[in-house]
């Protein structure tokens, strides 16, 4: 079942804008308004037979006429084309991500290599320390033995 259409009207003082929509938010969207015109009293629902007949013949399309007249309604051309959702990421954005991933992988590899070098250096230092400590412990033991 199709939603029941209501006819809404707003005016900028010079022109009346009329739209048939199923709800107030849809009417505001058709007008391109970011402000709640209904809350401020600048827009309202109408039951004027001429407006209802013209607007319901073209639901969702904004119609206009000179304010305060009974002139015929004309279609309003959209001020800008409707925005389409982007088709997907651009090639440049994909390349940027791939380059960043490659740089991250290089940094990880360099870090791992540096840690491996540090492990080798630490093992060498531990070995040198153990040898020196062994010599010093033997010298200490010999010195204590000489005291007794």
What confidence score (pLDDT) does residue 1 get?
46
What is the tens place of the pLDDT at every residue in 103-112?
999 999 999 9
Instruction: Give residues with Cβ within 8 angstroms of 77, minimum separation 6.
Output: none
d(CA 100, CA 37): 47
Decide which of 75, 98, 116 is a domain's last residue: 75
What confidence score (pLDDT) does residue 41 get?
87
Q: Is residue 1 part of a domain?
A: no
Q: DSSP E strands: which ranges in the chain?
A: 6-11, 15-21, 43-46, 63-66, 74-75
**H runs (alpha helix) in 2-90:** 24-31, 37-40, 49-57
What is the tens place of the pLDDT at every residue in 60-119?
888 887 777 666 666 655 545 556 766 788 899 999 999 999 999 999 999 999 999 999
Whether residues 71 and 119 share a domain: the answer is no
> How many domains, in total, are found in the chain?
2
Question: End-to-end distance of the chain based on CA atoms, in angstroms?
Answer: 111
The mean pLDDT of 20-39, rounded to a whole number, is: 88
Taking Cα atoms as reference points, which of 26, 24, 56, 60 lies closest to residue 41? Answer: 24
Q: Rounded to two decimals, what is the model's pTM?
A: 0.49
Give residue 53's domain range: 6-75
Whether residues 71 and 105 share a domain: the answer is no
What confidence score (pLDDT) does residue 49 get?
84
- Residue 122: what are its φ and ψ, rounded to 5°? -65, -45
What DSSP element (H or E) covers 125? helix 91-147
């Amino acid at each position: 079942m199709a939603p029941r259409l209501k006819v809404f009207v707003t005016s900028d003082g010079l022109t009346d804008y009329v739209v048939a929509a199923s709800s107030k938010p849809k009417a505001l969207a058709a007008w391109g308004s970011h402000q709640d015109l209904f809350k401020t009293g600048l827009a309202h629902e109408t039951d004027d037979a001429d407006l209802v007949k013209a607007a319901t013949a073209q639901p969702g399309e904004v119609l206009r006429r000179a304010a305060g007249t009974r002139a015929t309604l004309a279609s309003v051309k959209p001020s800008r084309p409707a925005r389409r959702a982007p088709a997907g990421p651009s090639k440049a954005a994909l390349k940027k991500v791939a380059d960043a991933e490659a740089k991250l992988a290089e940094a990880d590899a360099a870090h791992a290599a540096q840690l491996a070098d540090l492990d080798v250096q630490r093992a060498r230092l531990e070995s040198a320390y153990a040898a020196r400590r062994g010599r010093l412990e033997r010298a200490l033991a010999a010195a204590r033995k000489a005291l007794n």
